[in-house]
Amino acid sequence: MTRVVFALLLAATLAPSSARSFTGTITDSVCDRGDHAGMRMGPTDAECATACAEEHDAALVLYDGKDVYALSDQPAARKFVARKVTVVGALDAKAKKITVTSIVPAK
């Protein structure tokens, strides 16, 4: 029994953590760089991004100022539309998609 517990603890310690932090703004995939001037589906960026998500089936994404990442947890992202946040999750670099563990306001 002790060997099994030790083996499990060792495996957990050696397993690489794939969770990373990403800081950026939640926006929509239509205006993925956060510039809503072209669409202007509402008077604010938040209203425009929300309208694009609801009316045009746009996904909510994270824009970090350079790259755009798809987010696995759309309901959590919806709470932070047009706000700067920190997303913790695992990145699929090829798909540029973050499997979200958490989203919180950026400090």
| CATH for 24 | 2.40.50
Residues of the chain with pLDDT below 50 are: 4-5, 7-16
Could you give the number of structural domains in the chain? 1
Q: In this structure, what DSSP letter does residue 63 have?
A: E
| pTM, two decimal places | 0.79
Instruction: For residues 9 and 18, give the distance between their C-alpha atoms in angstroms, rounded to a whole number.
Output: 18
Task: Specify the pLDDT at position 65.
Answer: 94
Ramachandran area for residue 60 (φ above 0: left; ψ -120 to 50: alpha; else beta) = beta
Task: Specify the pLDDT at position 43.
Answer: 82
Phi, psi at 99, each rounded to 5°: -85, 105
Instruction: For residues 99 and 29, give the distance between their C-alpha atoms in angstroms, rounded to a whole number.
Output: 17
Task: Specify the pLDDT at position 32.
Answer: 82
Instruction: For residues 37 and 45, give the distance between their C-alpha atoms in angstroms, rounded to a whole number.
Output: 8
- On whether residue 5 sits in a domain, the answer given is no
- On whether residue 81 sits in a domain, the answer given is yes
- On whether residue 65 sits in a domain, the answer given is yes
Task: Specify the pLDDT at position 15.
Answer: 43
What tokens does 100 get? 């979200």
Task: Specify the pLDDT at position 3.
Answer: 65
Give the strand pairing for 60-63 and 97-105: unpaired
